[in-house]
Amino acid sequence: MIDGVGPQRDMSVFKRGRPDAGLLASVVLLLVLVGCSLFAGILPMPDPAQQSLPLRLSAPALDQGHLLGTDQLGRDVLSRIVYGARVSLIVAAASVLIAGTVGVLLGAVAGYYGGWIDDVVSWLINVFLAFPFVLLALAVVAILGPGLINIIIVLGLTSWVAYARVIRSQVLSLRERDFIQAVRALGGRDDRIVLRHIIPNTLAPLIVIATFEMARMIIMESALSFLGLGVEPSLPSWGNMLADGRSYLAIAWWIATFPGFAIMLTVLSINILGDWLRTQFDPKAARM
């Protein structure tokens, strides 16, 4: 790394404006969700797989110890929602990590070198954009079979396009900047220029994209699980709970309603956080 070469970053980016009540509520909800997911095993809740047929389809109540009721097998709905949050967050985080890594590498290489490499990557981007994402995910999962690892791989390898497009455009602009030309003139290697000088200056849009993609991955995992192509049926998942509860909406609405609310609130909270991050990193928003 060549010290002293590079653009000056605005370290006060998070001082632009005060967070509102909606943002604070979203952050608190996400922290609670992550905390419950991490420490689900020590929380005073029933085992999510424990069945109790005499208590099946029990309505939400405090006196029986089932705050959100039980499902068709007598399993505690609240416990399954908490453990389902762990599955959703693991799938979303791992998928975003895989997609971000693939997209950043392809976009950076295409933008920096240009030529036929850029043409190939751009062609791949257009192919993935033209092919329906849901259909592609369904086809791959149908071939590989349902499972936690498979759904992570499918979502990760089919969601890299958003990262690649943004990083490619950013690199096309950054590679001609004076500080990059200075590093190149001083003998900096291409790999070090990309990894140490260009990619760090694209972190702002990357963070915003990753935040919104987290929300989308949660919805996609729930949708695939709802269709029976997500995680194993034995694992508590919000999508699996929705699928189980659709046959009991008339007599046991809570089985599907509460997991649906969990998905909605989680995705809404992530989107609110992502929207705030977008305004913080946007220079135009900073001048308003």
> pLDDT tens digits, residue range 41-50?
788 888 888 8
Evaluate whether 59 touches 69 at the Cβ level (below 8 Å): yes
Q: Sorting pLDDT into bands at 50, 70 and 90, what band is 21?
A: confident
Residue-level pLDDT at 269: 92
- Give the Cα-Cα-Cα angle 219, 266, 150 (nearest 5 degrees): 35
Q: What is the mean pLDDT of residues 196-224?
A: 86
CA distance 105 to 102: 5
Predicted model pTM? 0.83
Q: Sorting pLDDT into bands at 50, 70 and 90, what band is 19?
A: low
Q: What is the mean pLDDT of residues 214-223?
A: 90
Q: What is the mean pLDDT of residues 230-255?
A: 86
pLDDT above 70: residue 6: no
Residue-level pLDDT at 13: 42
CA distance 169 to 207: 16
* Residue 13 C-alpha from the chain's centroid: 23
- Rounded to the nearest integer, the mean pLDDT of the chain is 82
pLDDT above 50: residue 177: yes
Terminal alpha carbon distance of the chain: 36
